[in-house]
C-alpha cells in the first residue's frame, strides 16, 4: 500500500509539473530536457518573467570615494594591519578561492579577428592595420619577442617551414599568429587562461596556476599549511592537475608551505534558459531548449560549500611575477582589517546573547555600524522597544563579511564602488557594473562617470558566524540584481539571463568595507598584450 501511495504521489507531482511547463508556453517534451539538465521549473518560470518585465536598474546615489565609503590607509597602517593578521591567524584555516573556468578566447579576440579578415595574398599587415584602425595588432607585433611563449612557437615554425628565416616579415608574423591560435598547433584561444604561459624566468616558464600556488605561501597560509580552490570547467580539470603535479613540490619547498588543492564546477542547475528577441524560449535546430551558464554569480554555491575561516578571492589572470612581498603586504592588510572588524562584531553579538547589553552600548553599536561598516539605522529605530532594538542590531551584525580592495580609476569609468538605494529605500555600499545602471538617465550616467575607483576583484571574506557556524550564503543574495545580456547563437540573436554577480548582487547583503589599495595589486591579463607590461616581464 505504501508503494502505491508513493507512486500516486509521484504521478500527481509529475502532472503538476507538466501543467507548469505548459503554462510557461513550453512543450511537453521540454519537461524531460529540463529534468535531465537539473534546472528547477520555478527558476525557469522566474527567468521567463524577468525577460518579459525586465530588470530594474540600480539607483546610484553617489560614487564611493576616499573618506566617503572608501578607507585610505597610510603605509604604516598597512603594515600594522598586516602584522595584526599574522599575529592572529595561527588558529585559522585560510583558503584562496580562484574562479578559473573561462577559456582565453577574449584574450586573443583581436588576433582571431585578424586571422578571419586578413588575406596575406592580397594586402600587407600594415595595410590591414590602417584599414581596420587596429591599435592592438601593432603593439603585439612589436613586442611579441618578449612573450613567454615566443621561443616555443618560433621553434615550431622552424620545424614546419625549412625556409622560415627567408620568409618576409609579414609572412613570419602571420604564421606566428596562426600557429599560436590554430587548433592543430598551440590553440591558445580555446584553452583555459590558467594553463597558458604567463611569465618567463631564467630557466622556467610559469602559468597563472603556478603563480597562485606561490601566492598561497606568501599570504594565505597558517602553520605552513594552505588551501587553494579553483572553480574550473570539468573538461579542463585534468590540464590543471597536470601543471600542479609538475610544479607543486618546487613551490612548496620554496615557500615552506604544504598546499592542498581542490576543484569544483559551476553547477548545471544554475544554468539559465535563453529566449529569442520576442522573449519566447529559444530553440536550437533540433527543437531543443537552449541553456547557458548563469555567469560567475552561480559560483556563490561553490563558495558556500567551502569550509574556511578566511577566504581570499582573486581572479585567475590577476597575478604578478612571484617572490613579491608587496602583493602579500596588501592582501594580509585587508585580512587584518577583516579580522579586527570581525572581533568587534562578534563581541557585540556575544554581548547581545548574554543579555548584558545596556542602552548606552546600543548607541555604541549604532556608531560602530555607521563609522566602520557604513550602515545607517532606520530613522524610527529610537521608537522601538528595547527587545526589538536588540533584534534589529543582531540581524544587521550577523552576516558574512567582505573587505574589498579598490584601485584608483585611471582609465574609463566602469564597475566600481557606489552608494545605492534599493527597493526598500535602504542605502548601502555596493560594487556596481555599468550594465546595472540606466546610462540613458543623465543623472545616473554622471554619477557613474564620477567614479574615482574600480573593483579589481580583490576580496577577503569571512563566511562563518560568531558561533563558528557557516552562513548559508544564498540567504544574502539580492535576487533582483541579475543581468539580461544579448548574445548570438549560430548567427541568431538571443537574450540570456545571468545571475547576480559573485561580487555584485550575490554579496549585496554582506557586511562590506572598501579599502583603497595601490595599482600594483591589479595586474590582470585581459588581452595578450597585457603580458608585455612591466608587471609580467622579468628584469
What is the grid cell recorded at 457?
A: 576583484
How far, in Å, are 103, 161, 363, 423, 463 from residue 114 at the CA level? Answer: 19, 22, 63, 46, 46
Local confidence pLDDT in tens for the 539 residues of the chain: 444 444 433 444 465 655 665 666 777 788 888 888 888 888 888 898 898 888 889 999 999 999 999 999 999 999 999 999 999 999 999 999 999 987 899 999 999 999 999 999 999 999 999 999 999 999 999 999 999 999 999 999 999 999 998 999 999 999 999 999 999 999 999 999 999 999 999 999 999 999 999 999 999 999 999 999 999 999 999 999 999 999 999 999 999 999 999 999 999 999 999 999 988 889 998 889 999 989 889 999 999 999 999 999 999 999 988 878 889 999 999 999 999 999 999 999 998 888 777 878 888 998 999 999 998 888 888 888 888 989 999 999 999 999 999 999 876 555 799 999 987 888 899 999 888 899 999 999 999 988 999 988 899 999 999 999 999 999 999 988 888 888 888 888 999 999 999 998 999 999 999 999 999 899 999 999 999 999 999 87
Instruction: Tell me what pLDDT residue 23 has.
Output: 64
- Cβ(259)–Cβ(213) below 8 Å: yes
What SS3 class is residue 407?
strand
Angle, CA 157 vertex, CA 153 and CA 162 arms, to 5°: 160
What SS3 class is residue 12?
helix
CA distance 268 to 448: 34
Burial of 122 (0-12, 13-18, 19+ CB in 10 A): exposed
Q: How many of the other CB atoms lie within 10 Å of CB of 205?
A: 15
- Output DSSP code: residue 282: P
**Residue 255, C-beta contacts closer than 8 angstroms, at least 6 positions apart:** 214, 216, 217, 218, 221
Residue 186's φ and ψ, nearest 5 degrees, are -90, -30
Instruction: Tell me what pLDDT residue 10 has.
Output: 44
CA distance 353 to 482: 36
Q: Which residues pair with 516 in a beta bridge?
A: 406
At the second CATH level, the architecture of 41-102+210-539 is: Alpha-Beta Complex (3.90)
CA distance 297 to 294: 7
Instruction: Tell me what pLDDT residue 509 has.
Output: 95
- Cβ(39)–Cβ(33) below 8 Å: no
- Cβ(24)–Cβ(275) below 8 Å: no
Instruction: Tell me what pLDDT residue 5 has.
Output: 42
Instruction: Tell me what pLDDT residue 20 has.
Output: 63
Considering Cα of 32, then 38, then 44, then 50, what sign does the dihedral take? negative
Selection from 42, 59, 20 nearest residue 478 by Cα: 59
Q: For residue 69, is it left (φ>0), alpha (ψ between -120 and 50) or beta?
A: left
CA distance 422 to 478: 10
Where in the chain is CATH 3.90.550? 41-102+210-539
Q: Are strands 65-66 and 69-71 parallel, antiparallel or unpaired?
A: parallel
**Residue 332, C-beta contacts closer than 8 angstroms, at least 6 positions apart:** 81, 82, 85, 86, 219
Q: Are strands 401-408 and 511-516 parallel, antiparallel or unpaired?
A: parallel
Residue 214's φ and ψ, nearest 5 degrees, are -60, -45
- Radius of gyration of the chain from its Cα atoms, rounded to whole angstroms: 26
CA distance 75 to 237: 40
Angle, CA 380 vertex, CA 375 and CA 381 arms, to 5°: 60
Instruction: Tell me what pLDDT residue 157 has.
Output: 96
Amino acid at each position: 500500500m505504501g508503494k502505491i501511495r508513493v507512486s500516486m504521489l509521484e504521478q500527481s507531482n509529475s502532472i503538476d509539473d507538466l501543467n507548469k511547463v505548459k503554462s510557461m508556453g513550453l512543450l511537453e517534451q521540454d519537461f524531460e530536457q529540463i529534468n535531465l539538465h537539473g534546472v528547477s521549473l520555478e527558476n525557469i518560470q522566474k527567468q521567463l518573467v524577468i525577460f518579459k518585465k525586465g530588470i530594474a536598474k540600480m539607483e546610484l546615489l553617489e560614487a564611493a570615494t576616499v573618506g566617503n565609503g572608501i578607507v585610505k590607509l597610510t603605509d604604516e597602517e598597512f603594515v600594522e594591519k598586516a602584522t595584526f593578521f599574522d599575529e592572529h591567524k595561527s588558529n585559522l584555516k585560510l583558503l584562496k578561492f580562484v574562479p578559473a573556468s573561462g577559456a582565453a578566447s577574449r584574450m586573443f579576440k583581436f588576433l582571431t579577428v585578424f586571422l578571419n579578415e586578413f588575406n596575406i595574398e592580397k594586402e600587407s599587415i600594415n595595410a590591414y592595420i590602417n584599414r581596420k584602425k587596429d591599435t592592438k595588432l601593432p603593439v603585439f607585433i612589436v613586442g611579441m619577442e618578449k612573450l613567454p611563449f615566443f621561443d616555443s612557437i618560433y621553434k615550431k615554425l622552424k620545424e614546419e617551414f625549412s625556409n622560415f628565416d627567408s620568409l618576409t616579415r609579414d609572412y613570419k608574423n602571420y604564421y606566428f599568429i596562426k600557429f599560436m591560435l590554430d587548433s592543430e598547433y598551440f590553440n591558445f584561444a580555446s584553452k583555459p587562461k590558467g594553463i597558458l604561459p604567463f611569465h618567463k624566468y631564467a630557466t622556467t616558464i610559469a602559468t597563472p596556476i603556478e603563480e597562485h600556488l606561490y601566492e598561497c605561501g606568501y599570504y594565505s597560509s597558517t602553520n605552513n599549511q594552505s588551501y587553494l580552490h579553483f572553480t574550473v570547467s570539468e573538461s579542463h580539470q585534468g590540464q590543471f592537475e597536470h601543471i600542479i603535479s609538475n610544479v607543486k613540490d618546487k613551490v612548496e619547498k620554496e615557500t615552506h608551505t604544504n598546499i592542498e588543492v581542490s576543484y569544483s564546477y559551476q553547477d548545471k542547475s544554475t544554468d539559465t534558459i535563453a529566449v529569442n528577441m520576442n522573449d519566447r524560449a529559444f530553440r536550437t535546430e533540433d527543437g531543443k531548449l537552449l541553456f547557458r551558464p548563469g555567469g560567475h554569480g552561480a559560483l556563490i554555491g561553490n563558495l558556500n560549500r567551502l569550509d574556511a575561516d578566511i577566504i581570499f578571492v582573486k581572479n585567475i589572470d590577476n597575478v604578478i611575477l612571484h617572490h613579491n612581498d608587496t602583493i602579500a603586504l596588501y592582501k594580509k592588510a585587508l585580512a587584518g582589517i577583516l579580522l579586527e572588524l570581525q572581533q568587534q562584531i562578534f563581541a557585540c553579538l556575544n554581548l547581545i546573547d548574554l543579555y548584558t547589553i545596556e542602552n548606552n552600548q546600543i548607541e555604541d553599536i549604532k556608531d560602530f555600524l555607521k563609522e566602520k561598516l557604513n550602515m545607517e539605522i532606520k530613522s524610527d529605530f529610537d521608537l522601538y522597544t528595547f527587545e526589538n532594538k536588540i533584534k534589529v542590531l543582531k540581524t544587521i551584525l550577523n552576516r558574512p563579511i567582505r573587505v574589498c580592495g579598490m584601485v584608483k580609476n585611471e582609465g574609463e569609468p566602469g564597475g566600481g564602488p557606489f552608494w545605492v538605494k534599493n527597493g526598500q529605500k535602504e542605502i548601502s555600499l555596493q560594487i556596481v557594473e555599468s550594465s546595472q545602471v540606466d546610462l540613458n538617465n543623465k543623472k545616473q550616467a554622471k554619477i557613474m562617470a564620477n567614479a574615482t575607483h574600480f573593483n579589481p576583484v580583490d576580496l577577503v571574506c569571512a563566511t562563518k558566524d560568531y558561533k563558528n557556524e557557516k552562513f548559508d550564503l544564498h540567504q544574502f543574495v539580492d535576487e533582483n540584481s541579475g543581468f539580461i545580456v544579448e548574445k548570438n547563437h549560430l548567427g541568431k540573436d538571443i537574450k540570456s539571463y545571468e545571475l547576480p554577480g559573485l561580487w555584485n548582487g550575490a554579496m549585496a547583503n554582506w557586511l562590506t568595507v572598501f579599502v583603497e589599495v595601490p595599482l600594483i595589486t591589479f595586474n590582470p591579463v585581459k588581452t595578450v598584450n597585457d603580458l608585455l607590461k612591466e608587471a609580467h616581464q622579468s628584469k
